[in-house]
Amino acid sequence: MRTPAEALKTSSFILVVDTLKEAPRKRLGTYKTVFPRFGFLRILMKLSSETLAETASNFITCYPNDLEAALIEELVQFAALFNDIVDKQKANLGHSDGKCIKIANVIVCILWETSCTLLFKKYLQ
């Protein structure tokens, strides 16, 4: 016959430990799927137009029912426009400390995290 302590250990404690052990693995598996698809958005401004177009094309093939081919050109134009704005601000304001670049990175990170959250709510739960 089992003692109450043994019963608690086998019915609850081991289950909780197993859950705590498995949850990070499951989340890591999800991130391994999500990051290769969305990770390029974090470095959008650093990619060449060709690399960005190729990456965006791969992204579209992952979600053909949700994304249009026009997204490729829109991302290339957005990155070029945004880089131009940052360059002009740096030139006009004479910032050598990279504040404009930091602001640009914050905006891109917000865009990336918002995209991931909206498109992958069901996978991140």
Residue 84, token pair as written in the block:
């131009």
Please state the domain extents for the chain: 39-124
Average pLDDT over residues 30-53: 87
Question: For the chain, what is the mean pLDDT?
Answer: 78
Q: What is the pTM of this model?
A: 0.55
Q: Cα(47)–Cα(69) distance, rounded to whole angstroms?
A: 19
Asked whether residue 96 carries a pLDDT value surpassing 60, the answer given is no
For residues 48-60, one letter each, b for 16 or more C-beta atoms within 10 angstroms of the residue's C-beta and e for the rest, the string is: eeeebeebbeebb
Rounded distance between C-alpha atoms, residue 94 and residue 79, angstroms: 22
Per the structure block, which two tokens stand in for 46? 């650093």
Q: pLDDT tens, 5-28? A: 777 667 777 777 778 888 888 888
